Structure 1
Amino acid sequence: MNATMCSVGRFLASPRGLVLILFLLAPTAFFALGGGKWLSLEAFAAHRDQLHGYAQSHFWLFFVGWGLLYAAVVAFSLPGGALLSLATGFLFGRWLGTVLIVVSASLGATAVFSAARYLFADAARQRLERNPTAVKLLSGFGRDAASYLLFLRLVPVFPFWLVNLAPAFAPVPASTYLWTTVVGILPGSFVFANLGQSLGDIRSLQGLISAEVLISLGLLGLLALLPVGLRRFGWSRTLIAQRQEDKR
């Protein structure tokens, strides 16, 4: 028992252990301190004028602070990202708001990606490699990482936090993860920042995205997968040609 406790203590005192503690304590503190009430549409509506006034009088300080808050929410996978995106558009406008959303969300996503890979990637990869289906999935993700990541970013089918975490356990270069995140979230960020300008008239976060917007994002996602389809089509033609040669 003492040996086990000593091992646990050494791990928690190590850099890896400290990172794990941080990513466990931050969400726990958020919910324990009632963070969900603050990151709500009701709370923003109640303090909207104060926030707007502070953004006007202390623009750059507020701009940087708001960006760090946004990045932290993404990094620790906390709820409220959609509201923060809308509020960013309301406070800073569609263009500057889009830039802030993209930069902050990309930083937060890269932080959680790096932390997950640092903490769990080796153990997770060893387990996945025992499963033949998982091996094929990982190898496919490695071949077409950019296309898959762009598709997942452009089409909001899966939760943002899940798309941030999953690539950490696949053979995806950090540089590929970063640039596909920036490019992939750009259209959606502009949509939210643009909608944020009318935040005063919004009563619910449901139904903010119109069918036309979702269709447009879906088409962009399909476009991102086009290289994968063309590659597989090329492989199929090669296989057919080889089989015809074998028959001769």
Structure 2
Amino acid sequence: MSSPEPQDELAGTEAPFVSHLIELRDRLVKSVIAIGIAFGALAIWPGPGGLYDLLAAPLVHSLPAGATMIATNVISPFLVPLKITLMAGFLLALPIVLYQVWAFVAPGLYNHEKRLVLPLVISSTLLFLIGVAFCYFFVFGQVFKFIQGFAPKSITAAPDIEAYLGFVMTMFIAFGAAFEVPVVVVVLTRMGVVSVEKLREFRGYFIVLAFIIAAILTPPDVVSQLSLAIPMCLLFEVGLIAAKVFIKHTQAPDADASSPSSST
């Protein structure tokens, strides 16, 4: 007689729609609380002013002696450091926020899918933070020195703090997102949208695309463009290697192979 059909791993885990909404609300509340605690801690030390001084340090160090930043809006000296503190609080609480996302979706995933999601959550968090750190510690210093080197002697540099915040946010998002290339490659290949072999054939086009994206997102200087495009190309290669590993270890179990052989 034939063996019984393998049971669905998710059988009996269905929950009413209202229960999902309640759980989603609870997860969102926990995420907001985590961001609030991080914001409060940073507001106490080093404080909004200290955080802004830290964020502005790469630009201030490249300005001529005696030059300072200015505020053209009356409330900018209060509002801009507050926004920076909130941004830093979100980055500090990002692991907890992503954990809440993971905890919400995990019950609806098969075991082989869970083996994929958790590493992707961790790696995407680390890659985004590495991209932001790379932008702050390396790119900013080089870009500001390059720009000031071309500034005419008759111009006194006095950047506006709101404009600087907008520039920093754009650059952080650009570099953080660019460093997610390996995650995108892994997800696309694991979902079957494209194969690793096809992506290898697409390598030349991706290099051109990376330089186009860098030219659009970064200031019009060769330093920042190369600083974004080259890591994207290298991370694309890392993604190809990681995709093969993930596909191998996150395949769905073969029902026929796992079930007992039928007997007569």
Fold shared by both chains (TM-score > 0.5): no
Structure with greater helix percent: 1
TM tier, smaller: 0.3 to 0.5
TM-score, structure 1 normalization: 0.33
Higher relative contact order (CA 8 A, sep 6+): 2
